[in-house]
Amino acid sequence: MTAGTVTPGTRAAGRPGRRPAARLGWLAGLIIPVVLVAAWQLAKSLGALPYDNVPSPLQIWDSAVSLTRSGQLPGDFGHTLAACLLGWVIGSAVGAVAGIALGLSRVVWSYSMASVEVLRSIPAIAFIPIAVIVFLQSLTMEVAIAAWVSIWPVAVSTMTGVAGVTSAHRDLAASLRMSWTARVTKLVLPTALPKMLVALRLGLSGALVLAIVAEIVGNPHGVGYALVNAQQQAQPAEMFAYVLLTGAVGVALNALLSLAYRRLAPGFHLAETARRGHGR
């Protein structure tokens, strides 16, 4: 009658272990950037770079340090990140609700899917001039654009995720006489979650891009405007500092999102890892 007698050791076998080589693997990825930066610095120092307006890595570093000390760079990134994250949260929420409705209701799907297909095929960037006219040169304009670009991947992935609820789970929900809300929160959303995560990541990088573009062509604030400004004042080192840091911010946001997923939804993360492990 003890469970342990049935199949001892399944617990240990079920948990995937990482090989030590994989744990240090991220260090290998640093080799190429370090070599490239060193080569770049060397070429610049030797005068071998044909473009005068390309600064050396050291110049970029100096410029990043002084921009940080003056408070300009943190302020610009704060503005852009606020617009990007606020828009992303709003857009993702709208997208999730729309996706659930599209996935659960045949009627909603029939009436709205054509519109969704048209709207999401229009490049979000094309809406920026319209957003500037409607919301003027404001943070709201940036948020609206960032939200718009986040809606579509989340809506479509949630919709397909919702459709993945199995008949076995529908039977289970019916036999337990679960309420509609309980079905959505306990079966539908968890089923859709892995697909939604992919979309949330897409949406987040899209929101960052669009927030910066909106600042370049619309609202004179944040990272986008700083880039334009540095260009007009012929400060290439500043421009490079902003661009490279934007890349770092994008990577950090993505990593944070993955970490949150692993922490907040351990069951999914572990189940996926196990599935991949079995496939090996």
Partner 1 sequence: MSMSAARSAQSAQGAQSMPAAQPGDHAFSCSGLFVEYQLRTGPLRVLEDVAFSCAPGEFVSILGPSGTGKTTLLRILAGLLAPGRGSSVTFEGAPLTGPNEGVAIVFQDYRSSLLQWRTVRKNVALGLEGRVAAAERAERVDAALDLVGLSDRGNDYPWQLSGGMQQRVQIARALVMRPRVLLMDEPFGALDAMTKGQLQDELLRVREVTGATVVFVTHDVDEAVYLSDRVLVLSGSPARITTELAVDLPSPRDQVATKEDPSYLSIRHSVYQVLKGAHQ
Return the percent helix, strand and coil in the chain, to nearest 5.
85, 0, 15
Count the site residues for partner 1 by CB under 8 A.
32
Q: Exposed/middle/buried for 15, CB within 10 Å: 0-12, 13-18, 19+?
A: exposed
- Asked if 190 is part of the footprint of partner 1 (rule: CB under 8 A), the reply reads yes
Region binding partner 1 by CB under 8 A among candidate stretches 102-110, 136-144, 179-187, 248-256: 179-187
Q: Exposed/middle/buried for 257, CB within 10 Å: 0-12, 13-18, 19+?
A: middle
- The DSSP output letter for 126 is G
Residue 120 vs 186, nearer CB to partner 1: 186
- Asked if 263 is part of the footprint of partner 1 (rule: CB under 8 A), the reply reads no
Closest CB 265 distance from partner 1, rounded Å: 7
- Asked if 16 is part of the footprint of partner 1 (rule: CB under 8 A), the reply reads no
- Candidates 17, 20, 50, 267; binder of partner 1 (CB under 8 A) is 267
Give me the phi and psi of 156, to 5 degrees please: -70, -40
- Asked if 279 is part of the footprint of partner 1 (rule: CB under 8 A), the reply reads no
User: What letters, b where the CB count within 10 A reaches 16 and e where it falls short, cover 228-239?
Assistant: ebbeeeebbbbb
- Candidates 70, 105, 166, 258; binder of partner 1 (CB under 8 A) is 166
The binding site for partner 1 (CB under 8 A) comprises 1-4, 6-7, 10-11, 14-15, 166, 168-169, 171-172, 174-179, 182, 186-187, 190, 193, 265, 267-268, 270-271, 274
